[in-house]
A and B are shown apart, each in its own frame.
Chain A
Amino acid sequence: MVLRLKGNEGKPVAYQVRILTEYCKGCELCVAVCPKGALEMSDELTDLGVRPACPKADAECTGCTLCYQVCPDAAIEIWETAEA
């Protein structure tokens, strides 16, 4: 099934994973679970002093939501994107 953005009928969507770094505690569960290797740990420290997860530049996110399911800090959002 191809999901579609409202008002964008007919055009297939892509997915984007976003990390809410203010909640992330750097547990790495999302990185370990992602079947696409679309996440990695950042080198930048947050105010908590942890290295947060971040999307890998050239990797493809399929929107499978596995990273969201395992995240203990609800620090992950999955977005749908489409060319209008």
Chain B
Amino acid sequence: MTQAAMKLGRPKALLDNRTHYCPGCGHGVVHRILAEIIDEWDIRDSCIGMAPVGCAVLAYQYLDIDMCEAAHGRTPEVAAGVKRARPDKLVFSYQGDGDLAAIGTNEIVHVANRGEPISVIFINNAVYGMTGGQMAPTTVPGQKTTTSPKGRSITGEGYPLRVCELLATLEQPAYIERCVIGTPNKIRRTKNAIKKSFRVQRDLKAFSLVEVLSPCPTYWRVPPTKAAEYIETYMEEIFPPGIIKDTTK
């Protein structure tokens, strides 16, 4: 008789719903990473997430934790408020690059500057996904989007905004790292970084942010299997992965 036992499967903190994300979308991988950490730490009842405006707007239909929704770009301030009201909870803000680096630039800078003890998961896919692939402040030079059909020009639109490096100049953030959803190895590093960000919040009560270079195959107009290469070729030079700031050591 053959016995069988499941070694690895869907994390418990992921709800049974099928996501609305496109095939190969990085949001799904980051959701699974979050759900795995929530399971491993057994914090399903003591973790509160903030869903952004953007493709991840329905994150609360996928993660089995308490979640709030804020106006576009305002998630870090709402997260800071929730954390002040419930300091015993682990609070994270989940945001895209349009949300965090365009309409919400003001909020993220001040929340980081005040050292609010929250974790920010910053999904940088270099476009506005939800609204149809428009140019974002993080779009790389020459990248074609629906609003930069000839490619982003530096003279017209400036250089991509490096959020990690910008926030690292501030006094209070304790830990800032940039990761990638690409090869399994890079995905594992992303998970470790998010875990570390949660530890910084829990143990040091400090602000931290993990930027994730994340595939949007739909608006990069590449097949999902070419997205990892796309990040390596076009994004990693502008947005070098690695630890940008770490005062925890």
Contacts and interface: CB of A to CB of B under 8 A. Distances in A.
Interface of A: 3, 5-8, 15-16, 20, 22-23, 25-29, 32-33, 48, 50, 63, 65-66, 68-74, 76-84
Contacts of A3: 7
Contact of A27 (B7, B8, B184, B224): B224
A80 B4 contact: yes
Q: Classify chain B: how many residues form its interface, as a range.
A: 20 to 34
A28 B188 contact: no
A15 B24 CA distance: 25
B187 A5 contact: no
A69 B28 contact: no
Contacts of A71: 28-29, 32
B2 A81 contact: yes
Contacts of B14: 74
A27 B24 contact: yes
Nearest to B10: A74
Contact of A78 (B8, B19, B184): B8
Contact of A22 (B18, B184, B223): B18
A74 B184 contact: no
A69 B188 contact: yes
Contact of B5 (A25, A68, A80): A80
A27 B2 contact: no
Contacts of A32: 225
B1, B5, B6, B25 — which one has the most chain A CB atoms within 10 A of its CB?
A: B5
A70 B215 CA distance: 12
16 contacts: A3-B7, A23-B18, A27-B24, A27-B224, A28-B224, A63-B7, A65-B8, A70-B183, A70-B184, A72-B25, A74-B32, A79-B6, A80-B4, A80-B5, A80-B7, A84-B3
B4 A29 contact: no
Nearest to B191: A69
Contacts of B188: 69
Contacts of B28: 71-74
